[in-house]
Each structure stands twice: as structure tokens, then as C-alpha cells.
């Protein structure tokens, strides 16, 4: 299904044909598609909040009933006991990110997990203290890096090295990332970047970044909020030291849903790696002895502070039930086809005064395209919203659109592009 631009056709019949031959089309029916005026909307905002799996309400009612019927005994119920609820989705999450099951754990929220992991893996010394991150990172990441640096009594202005695109460009050149790592190698403690830049949609070369960081003696971690469930990842084989992500974007687990942490087994199984202790991170063999002395459990579980927030994890369970039916490689093939088609259609419309700032090369992007406007951007956004499209506006002048392969269609991509064309034609 991965086609080149010359094979695409700009007509409704072609878009419907592509949907007809899409082997993943039926998965769409496992999600609740919002409606406007009795018609399903075009939802291109899965990079912000994924759609609700249809089974979520059933699973929520099931756990609410268990609470009512069993009260505290729900922890040890015959089916889906709360006691082990955080364990239930580890295998699914590990498959999605290319990890071993012991290397992942759902817990807390993204930024809380980032802070916990930074405490373990940012250990500045007199010689090694610098952090490299992308410029214009998502604010939570910026704040986390800044305050972690200050916690060690250091000055963020002197410690944090930000990567910025070259003059007149919108995305980072890979060689500039690698050269900066090499340039600061002797003083570099950590490379900590997003997997996909939230604003531009650029997908960074995670394996190569990790290799370059390790070559100069630094550690490497990633915020994968915009990458997990969007792109095939191989965190274990790429030797990534740590990572964290939310589950409410491409993982469709609901607003504010549980975060997930990854710690490579070389660190996760090393009891000498410092981690903040909590009851649920302690060795299960001694957990209920209720004694002093933190003994970390095996794997990433040892970073888990508390027992699972069950009602905050039900959406994750519903989503993993869907992800378990499809290979990430197949989702990626469809995603490339969808986004290539969208790029093809919109590229013909850039004459109206906007740019696609997301890389054209599909290997350097996920599902998202970011459109940069000189003017009329907010007016177009409002017009599309009125016509049943949900997407994302980011100040000062970018519309982010993300056709998600689990539930978006080629006909929706075509319809979106026609709406954009119609708006500019009526303006002119």
C-alpha cells in the first residue's frame, strides 16, 4: 500500500478504492467516531488525543461493578485482579516499542516518569554535566530539564544545549544532531530528546542518536509521546537507556491516561542503579513483610511507586486489545500511504500561501503533517472546524493534522484536502 506520488490520483473514486483494498479498514469500527449534525466528523487529532475504543465503557462498567460487588476483594478477583493490573498490558506495550516485557511499566504520568528517570540517569559530574535536547521542545520537557539541572545546583543556560534548525529551515538536519553530540562529547552527560517533534512532526533517528551518545560516553533517553503507537520502535535493540511516554495520543487510552516508562534491562536489573523507592517497586518477595530497607524488584517495575490506578488504566486495556490484533509494521505501511496521499494532495495547494514543514521523506515523519501559514491560517482552521474537521492549532501559525491508520481513511484525507481547496478558492 506504500505508493509513490505519481501513482496517486486526486479524485474521490480513487480514495474510496484505496479504502476498499485496505486490510485494516475494519479496525475503524472498534472506535467511537464523534458526530456533528448527524454525520461522522473527520478526526485528524489523534496526535493530541486518540479516539475512544468502543469497548472502554464496557470495561469501565465491569470494574465499577467489581468494586461494588467485591470491594477490597476486587484486588484478588478471579478475572482481572486489581493486584496485578499494571502487569496485564506490559507484554502488549513491550511489543509496540520493541522492548522486553520487564523493560516497560505503566505508571504515573509522562512528566512524573521523566523526572523519576532523570533522577536515576542524570548524574552530573565536574567533567560531564551537559544535556542535549531539541530546541522548541514541548514545554513539559523544557521545564523538566531546567528544574532537574537546578536541583543539582547548576545553571540551565550553561548546561542545556539546544538543537535548532539552520537559518531558513524548519527541521533539524541529522548531521547537525550528530556533530553537536560529538562537539560536546567530553562534557556531555545525557542526550534527552523527543522521538517526534510535537510542532514540526519530524521523526528523529533514534538508533543513530543513541549510538552517537554512547560513543562519546553519554547516556540517551527519549520522550516518545508522539512516537509510541505511531512508529515502529526497537528500544531494546537500539540500546536506548530509558524512555517514557503518555498513552492518550496514538495509544487511545483517554484524557490524562496512565504514562509508561522504559528502562533498558542493563540498568533495570542492576540494583546499584539509584531509583526512588516505593512500595510497588520493591521486590514482590519481601513487599508484604512491611519492613525497612528498599529492595528493588527486577526490571522497570522497580521504578513503580504505587499500585495501579485501575480506573485510569482501563482505557489502556481497551486500546491494547485492539493493538494486539495488528502488527506495527502493517500500521506503519498504512500510515505512510495515508500521509503520503495527504502530502500529495496538499502539496498542490501550497500555491495558496502555506508550507508543509514536516519532512517530505516518510522515514523522517510519522502520521503528522504540520502546515505553516503566512496568514489566513486561523481562518482556515475555523472554516475546517465548522465543516466537521477536528485538528490542532498551534500558535503562532501552524495547523497540525494526523491521519491515524487505526481509524482514519483515504476518503477522509481526500475530503480534507478538498475543503482546504474550496476555502482558498472562495477567498480568491
- The CATH number linked to 213 is 3.40.640.10
Cell representation of residue 211: 549510538
What is the per-residue pLDDT across 226-251, written as a single tens digit (0 to 9) for each? Answer: 999 999 999 999 999 999 999 999 99
Look-up: residue for cell 500561501?
353
Q: What is the dihedral of CA 60, 281, 266, 151, to 10 degrees?
A: 100
Residue 2 confidence (pLDDT) above 70? no
Together in a domain, 269 and 357: no
Q: Tell me whether residue 260 is in a domain.
A: yes
Q: Tell me whether residue 418 is in a domain.
A: yes
φ/ψ (deg, to 5) at 400: -105, 130
Q: 1: pLDDT confidence band, cut at 50, 70 and 90? A: low
What separation in angstroms does the CA of 239 have from each of 160, 222, 233, 266? 23, 12, 11, 9
Residue 62 CB neighbour total at 10 angstroms: 14
Domain termination site, one of 323, 347, 375: 323
pTM of the model: 0.95
DSSP assignments along 38-89, one per residue: TEE-EE-BTTTSPPEETTHHHHHHHHHHHHHHHGGGGGG-SSS-GGGGGGTT
Domain that holds residue 93: 61-323
Residue 269 confidence (pLDDT) above 80? yes
User: What integer is the mean pLDDT of 117-131?
Assistant: 97
* 3-class state of residue 279 by DSSP: helix
Q: Specify the higher pLDDT residue, 7 or 257.
A: 257
Together in a domain, 121 and 82: yes
Together in a domain, 317 and 371: no
What is the per-residue pLDDT across 182-225, written as a single tens digit (0 to 9) for each? Answer: 999 999 999 999 999 999 999 999 999 999 999 999 999 999 99
Together in a domain, 84 and 176: yes
Q: Tell me whether residue 171 is in a domain.
A: yes
Let me know how many helices (H) and strands (E) the chain has, helices first.
14, 17
Together in a domain, 319 and 337: no
Consecutive H or E run containing 112: helix 110-121
pLDDT at position 336: 97
Total tally of structural domains belonging to the chain: 2
Q: 181: pLDDT confidence band, cut at 50, 70 and 90? A: very high
Contact criterion met (CB below 8 Å) for 127 and 187? yes
Residue 179: closest CA among 194, 193, 163: 163
User: What integer is the mean pLDDT of 163-175?
Assistant: 97
Looking from the CA of 205 toward its CB, the CA atoms found within 13 Å total: 14
The beta strands (E) that lie in 264-386 are given as 354-356, 369-373
Q: Tell me whether residue 45 is in a domain.
A: no
Q: 3: pLDDT confidence band, cut at 50, 70 and 90? A: low
Q: Tell me whether residue 41 is in a domain.
A: no
Contact criterion met (CB below 8 Å) for 274 and 120? yes
pLDDT at position 6: 62
Q: Tell me whether residue 257 is in a domain.
A: yes
Together in a domain, 133 and 215: yes
Together in a domain, 346 and 311: no
Residue 389 CB neighbour total at 10 angstroms: 22
Amino acid at each position: 500500500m506504500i505508493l509513490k506520488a505519481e501513482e496517486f490520483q486526486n479524485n474521490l473514486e480513487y480514495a474510496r478504492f484505496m479504502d476498499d483494498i485496505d486490510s485494516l479498514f475494519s479496525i475503524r469500527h472498534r472506535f467511537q467516531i464523534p458526530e456533528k449534525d448527524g454525520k461522522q466528523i473527520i478526526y485528524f487529532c489523534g496526535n493530541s488525543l486518540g479516539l475512544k475504543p468502543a469497548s472502554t465503557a464496557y470495561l469501565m462498567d465491569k470494574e465499577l461493578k467489581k468494586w461494588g460487588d467485591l470491594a477490597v476483594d476486587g484486588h484478588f478477583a478471579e478475572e482481572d485482579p486489581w493486584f496485578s493490573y499494571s502487569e496485564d498490558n506490559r507484554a502488549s506495550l513491550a511489543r509496540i516499542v520493541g522492548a522486553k516485557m520487564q523493560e516497560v511499566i505503566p505508571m504515573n504520568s509522562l512528566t512524573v516518569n521523566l523526572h523519576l528517570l532523570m533522577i536515576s540517569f542524570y548524574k552530573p559530574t565536574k567533567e560531564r554535566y551537559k544535556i542535549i535536547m531539541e530546541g522548541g521542545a514541548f514545554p513539559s520537557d523544557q521545564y523538566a530539564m531546567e528544574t532537574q539541572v537546578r536541583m543539582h545546583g547548576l545553571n540551565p543556560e550553561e548546561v542545556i544545549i539546544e538543537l535548532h534548525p539552520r537559518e531558513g529551515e524548519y527541521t533539524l538536519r541529522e548531521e547537525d544532531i550528530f556533530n553537536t553530540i560529538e562537539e560536546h562529547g567530553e562534557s556531555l552527560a545525557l542526550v534527552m530528546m523527543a522521538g517526534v517533534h510535537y510542532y514540526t512532526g519530524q521523526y528523529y533517528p533514534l538508533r543513530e542518536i543513541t549510538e552517537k551518545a554512547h560513543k562519546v560516553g553519554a547516556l540517551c533517553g527519549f520522550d516518545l509521546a508522539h512516537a509510541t503507537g505511531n512508529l515502529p520502535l526497537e528500544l531494546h535493540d537500539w540500546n536506548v537507556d530509558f524512555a517514557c511516554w503518555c498513552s492518550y495520543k496514538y495509544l487511545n487510552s483517554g484524557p490524562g491516561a496512565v504514562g509508561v516508562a522504559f528502562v533498558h534491562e542493563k540498568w533495570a536489573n542492576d540494583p546499584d542503579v539509584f531509583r526512588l523507592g516505593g512500595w510497588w517497586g520493591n521486590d514482590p518477595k519481601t513487599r508484604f513483610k512491611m519492613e525497612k530497607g528498599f529492595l528493588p524488584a527486577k526490571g522497570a517495575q522497580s521504578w513503580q511507586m504505587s499500585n495501579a490506578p485501575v480506573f485510569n488504566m482501563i482505557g489502556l486495556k481497551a486500546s491494547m486489545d485492539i493493538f494486539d490484533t495488528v502488527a506495527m509494521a502493517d500500521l506503519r505501511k498504512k500510515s505512510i500511504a495515508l500521509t503520503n496521499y495527504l502530502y500529495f494532495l496538499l502539496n498542490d495547494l501550497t500555491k495558496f500561501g502555506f508550507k508543509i514543514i514536516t519532512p517530505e521523506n516518510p522515514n523522517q515523519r510519522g502520521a503528522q503533517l504540520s502546515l505553516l501559514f503566512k496568514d489566513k491560517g486561523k481562518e482556515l482552521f475555523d472554516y475546517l472546524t465548522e465543516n466537521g474537521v477536528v485538528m490542532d492549532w498551534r500558535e503562532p501559525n501552524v495547523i497540525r493534522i494526523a491521519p491515524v491508520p487505526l481509524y482514519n481513511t483515504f476518503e477522509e484525507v481526500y475530503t480534507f484536502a478538498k475543503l482546504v481547496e474550496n476555502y482558498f478558492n472562495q477567498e480568491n
